[in-house]
Structure 1
Amino acid sequence: MSNVIVVSGGSSGIGAATCELFAKQGDIVYDLSRSGEDRQGIRHLYCDVKNPEAVREAIRTVLSNEKRIDICISNAGYGIAGTVECTSDALAIDQMNVNFHGTERLARAVLPALKESRGKFIAVSSVAGTIPIPFQAYYSASKAAMQSLLLAMANEVRPFGVSVVCLQPGDLSTGFTDKRVSNPDEASDYGETVHRSIRKMADDERKGGSPFIAAKRIVKIAGQRNPKPLQSLGWFYKTALVLWKLLPIRVTNYVVGKLYAL
């Protein structure tokens, strides 16, 4: 029997690739996003994850049509770049509103259905959720908050047969880079450092792998009986995450600073 799949932020990047792979294997796929359109095997529903009622209404529509939801993927998100000092209240709040609160709003809306289906909630996080990146402090914090929330939630819903997974991709070539909001010019006394760091981020992402790398892992997780709650992609990022845990934080944080802030 086909699964009913819901993907927030399914109109581009990892979300679009994920929708495509699920649709190709015959699943019933819904893309929940602010912009998009119906595609072959994929139905688009308008949803702004910053709006609690829009999230609830999208989930109600799927349940009205399909009577169940088996897999929910939280992918909607974006990044801001710049110094902590010069980031406005509005940008800082919006970053958390989309990346963190958008995920937990979706989780609260869909969990009753996932408990009935004994389904899975999969969230696209980031390596930055564990290894905070300078000049991406608010993005890193939003992903760290997401991971903490979902790891706790995983233990809450396990008795109901619901699996919760955070996927930590590294640099991938998606539209994420072009959507990043930057404010480096407001940090003049930081010199060229902030500009150089943001250029490095963008260059690494544009040289990254295909979003289908992450999408294939998401499809694999959806089919697993007992998936690990926190997963990364590729040997480089797995090694980096292990070293971050094993080595003294003074050493690892210094190395990250050398890579991104000097």
Structure 2
Amino acid sequence: MTSPITLITGTSSGIGLEIALQSAAAGHTVIATMRDLAKAGALRDAASANGVTVDIRQLDVTDPASIDACVASVIADHGRLDALVNNAGAGHVATIENETLDDVRQVMEVNFFGVVAVTKAAMPLLRASGGRVVTVSSVGGAVGQPFSEAYCAAKFAVEGFMESLAPVAATVGVRVSVVEPGAVASEFVPNIGLSSAKMVAEAGAYGPALAGYLAASGSSFSKAQSSADAAAAIVAVLVADAPPARAQTSDSARAFVGTKFADLDGSAVQALTRTWVAG
């Protein structure tokens, strides 16, 4: 059998870079995409060091022309696509009173509409190959978290979209999965560009709550899962004969998401997340 042709978004660093390396090591022909090819050096060097080959291409998930060009290049070079891994995303920390609606819309563009747009473009190819879609969500796609309204809203939307798409896609032979990492030690948090002291100073009435949240999240990320371990759980779903509709990347992520799914009235989640904003 020929190796599966797998398109992965957001591979310049962190989980995406590791997914690309591990998918290639698992025998996939990896098309590793990123918005800015100037950041390709880390993946290129890691692939060389690990003795694997990845095909690095430009793809901005918020740019329809970029998506169309990338998918067209896959068709031209390979004639098919067997798997899509939606990994590209961007973090965001704010509360609605202190940000603009344009800020919220941008979070949705990158984290939700980008996923939808790439999935839409890939579906005809995946339908033809009997392929699969694996989307990297977050525990924030199941549990709403303080100062993450827009980010969690986007991830909730991703999960609702994929959960709804899954049974429909299955009727034409395409399997759909979401994978939920918890705290991961990667470039994702630094890439948000946070200055904690500045944020707290500018938060007005929300300053004490924000300081509590940043302290709580800092503690969480001090015990974070490695990018490689998170990617291994995602690649396990990618290569599974019968992939689950939803999976988590660690025991702590499973426990956290499990709190939500067992919490019919919302009291357990609220009791938990209120402690993150306590002064």
Under TM normalisation by the shorter chain, which class is it? over 0.9
* TM-superposed deviation, 1:250: 2.2
For residue 80 of structure 1, give the secondary structure of its aligned residue in structure 2. coil
User: Deviation per CA, 1:143-176, whole angstroms, max 9, x where unpaired?
Assistant: 0000000111111110111111110010010000
Q: 2:266 is matched with which residue: 237, 245, 249?
A: 249
Q: What is residue 77 of structure 2 aligned with on the other side?
A: 65
**Matches of 1:73 and 1:184 in 2, distance apart?**
36
Asked if the contact 1:83/1:194 (under 8 Å) is kept, the reply is no
Match of 1:91 among 81, 95, 103: 103
Match of 2:236 in 1: 220
Q: Contact 1:76 / 1:99 at 8 angstroms: preserved in 2? A: yes
Runs of 4+ in 1 over 6 A off after TM superposition: none
Deviations 1:60-107 (A, max 9, x none): 111211111111100000111021211122211110000000100010
1:68-217 to structure 2, matched below 5 A, reads: 68-182=80-194, 183-217=199-233
* DSSP 3-state at the match of 1:227: coil
Q: Which amino acid aligns with 1:200?
A: A
Q: What displacement does 1:237 show?
A: 2.2
- Equivalent pair of 1:177/1:206 in contact (CA under 8 Å): no
SS of residue paired to 1:132 = coil
Which residue identity does 1:114 align to in structure 2?
Answer: L
**Structure 1: distance between partners of 2:177 and 2:214:** 29
2:65 to 53, 68, 76: 53
Give the aligned residue type for 2:135: A
Alpha-carbon distance in structure 1 between the residues aligned to 2:272 and 2:225? 23
> What's the CA shift for 1:181?
5.0
Q: What is the CA distance between 1:184 and its match in structure 2?
A: 4.3
Note the C-alpha offset of 1:185. Answer: 3.8
Q: Give how far 1:24 is off.
A: 2.0
Deviations 1:185-237 (A, max 9, x none): 43211232213312432442253111111211222112222211111122222
**Worse-matched range after superposition: 178-187 or 207-216:** 178-187
Following superposition, the deviation at residue 42 of structure 1 comes to 1.1
Give the match for residue 30 of structure 1: 31
Q: CA deviation at 1:261?
A: 5.0
RMSD: 1.7
Deviation at 1:139, TM superposition (A): 0.6
Q: Is the 8 A contact 1:83 1:184 kept in 2?
A: no
TM-aligned CA distance change 1:94 to 1:254, over 3 Å: same
Name stretches of at least 5 consecutive residues in structure 1 with no aligned partner. Answer: none
Q: Aligned pair count?
A: 262
Give percent identity, aligned residues only: 24
Which is worse superposed, 197-206 or 153-162?
Answer: 197-206
> Normalising by the residue count of structure 2, what TM-score does the alignment of the two structures yield?
0.88
14-23 vs 30-39, which moves further: 30-39
Contact 1:134 1:261 in 2 (8 A): no
CA contact (8 A) 1:81 1:198 kept: no
- Aligned residue for 1:68, secondary structure, equals coil
Task: Work out the CA distance in 1 between the residues paired with 2:92 and 2:26.
Answer: 35
Question: Distance in 1 between the 2:109 and 2:218 partners?
Answer: 23
The Cα of 1:19 is off from its aligned counterpart by 0.4
